[in-house]
Amino acid sequence: MQAGSSQPTERVPEDLMQNPYEILKAFRDMGPVHEVTFAHGARAWLVTRYDEIRALVSDPRVSKDGRRMNELFARHSGAFVEQEGEPGEEAASVGFDDDLATHMLNSDPPRHTRLRALVSKAFTAQRVERLRPRIEQVADELLDSFAGKPEVELVSEFAVRLPITIICDLFGIPQADREDFRLWGTKLVGAGQDPEEVADASKKVVDYASALIDAKRANPGDDMVSALVRVTDDGDRLTHGELVSMIFFLVVAGHITTIYSIGNAVYNLLTHPDELARLRADLSSMPAAVDELMRFDPAASVGTFRFTTEEIQVGDVVIPADQILALSWSSANRDSAHFPDPDRLDLNRRPVGSMAFGHGIHYCIGVPLAKLQIEIALTRLLTRYPDLRLAVDPGQLRWENSALLRGLEALPVSVSSAVPDNDAG
């Protein structure tokens, strides 16, 4: 039985997301868990096999408490840690505001249970479904703007604009503020950002969200912030700090991963022409196709960091307490022990148990909205532009450098020969 040690760890390449699947397969073949150092300096235990990941997600000795994650991240990355209060107490200076670090995704029961119950009362299936006409309208308007262009950059001109428009509509964020909010959000997602830039973006998000909450209290509307302000459960309601963190979490998580999901899906369809032809022949199969596209190449490649509260044995390895865990959804989704022939894109697969949106109590609350946008985006795009194809060699494409998320920097495509508007369905 191996125990955690201070021996040198294997370094995860900075460009992991450029070609994650070969790297993750090599780790998976060697065993279910590995102590690694990410490019930004954090040491963590990378878990790569489906069954072990599923077990750890539900293990009570695994925590996502954001109040401690700043401290542990600083400790395991060599960042400066101030001493505060009594001897031995540590306060990490990694730039991330505690109000933002303790959102619903970064909390444990019973706090998580309470927050999810309150948010679920506001973020309902009916509210999401009411967005369908608006999503279709925005998608069509963006696709209209491609007319007459032989080539477009699909990430910035479509995959970014659709989700940011919809999530800001949902939360009542004015048009003039949307680009600022998007830029702040990109500084606060993933890991390895400059602490000063993180601190600046963190303050701006907190200040903006606080002002938005005050405005919606004074003049409530039919937006999500107004709904979160009003929601109660047996007299319980979200505090101001919880509202701030919820706006950050739902707005940022609600658009960045959807951007990456749309880009990844289009790329994989265009590089798998037989599967694309099958989908074009029956667009009614789009929901099942999206499930497989998300399994094959999800935006959330590695789950947001967790940590051990006690010693845990995984296979032949003992992970000590207070260690950061990185659970790889991408690796789990390519584990042949659960998905036969996992490296093949098969739009007829119906991948039961896919971890594209996480697993367990922290399974993404925004899945219905994300999938609705992805399905509409792909359906409208493929219908409107039947000759859609890559405008560059696939080897020229680059993915964002990230420890957690996989998304294309850009996706140049040819969109010639559009179907007229009245035929676009």
Per-residue pLDDT tens for 218-272? 999 999 999 999 999 888 999 999 999 899 888 877 788 999 999 999 999 999 9
Residue 308's DSSP bridge partners are: 62
Q: Is residue 82 part of a domain?
A: no
Mean pLDDT of the residues in the chain:
88
pLDDT at 72: 76
Q: Which residues contact 425 (CB under 8 A, 6 or more apart)?
A: 379, 380, 383
What is the structure's pLDDT at 78?
A: 53
Among 3-17, 176-190, 301-315, 377-391, the minimum mean pLDDT is found in 3-17
pLDDT of 52 over the 90 cut: yes
Total structural domains in the chain? 1
Beta-sheet pairing, 324-327 with 43-47: parallel
* Residue 3 clears pLDDT 80, i.e. is over it: no
> pLDDT (tens digit, 9 = 90+) per residue, 395-419?
999 999 888 899 999 999 999 866 7
Query: What's the CATH number where 359 sits?
Result: 1.10.630.10
In-domain check, residue 220: yes
Does the pLDDT of residue 341 top 60, yes or no?
yes
DSSP secondary structure code for residue 156 in this structure: I
Task: Give domain status of residue 316, yes or no.
Answer: no
Does residue 91 register a pLDDT over 50?
A: no
- For the stretch 212-222, pLDDT in tens is 999 999 999 99
Q: Each residue of 98-123: b (16+ CB within 10 Å) or e?
A: ebbbbbbbbbbeeebebbbebbeebb
Q: Looking at the whole model, is its pTM more than 0.95?
A: no
Q: Does the pLDDT value for residue 385 go beyond 50?
A: yes
Tokens read off for 130: 């009411």
Tell me whether residue 393 is in a domain. yes
Which residue has better confidence, 99 or 336? 336
Higher-confidence position of 360 and 87: 360
Residue 96 has pLDDT above 80, yes or no: no
The answer to whether residue 360 sits within a structural domain is yes
**pLDDT at residue 81, as a whole number:** 42
Among 91-105, 188-202, 289-303, where is mean pLDDT lowest? Answer: 91-105
pLDDT at 143: 97
In this structure, is residue 264 part of a structural domain?
Answer: yes
pLDDT digits (tens, 9 = 90+) for 154-185: 999 999 999 999 999 999 999 899 888 878 87
Q: Which domain holds residue 187?
A: 95-303+325-423
| Distance (Å) of CA 24 to CA 272, 392, 407 | 22, 27, 17
Angle 132-144/161-171 helices, nearest 10 degrees?
140
Question: Which pLDDT value is given to residue 83?
Answer: 40
Mean pLDDT of 42-56: 95
298 lies in a domain?
A: yes
DSSP 195-241: HHHHHHHHHHHHHHHHHHHHHHHHS--SSHHHHHHH--BTTB---HH
In this structure, is residue 189 part of a structural domain? yes
* Confidence (pLDDT) at 344: 98
- Which is nearest to 402 in space by CA: 100, 16, 53, 96? 16
Question: Does position 369 have pLDDT exceeding 90, yes or no?
Answer: yes
- pLDDT at position 293 over 70: yes
| Beta strands 81-83; 324-327: pairing state | unpaired
Distance CA 83, CA 205 (A): 27
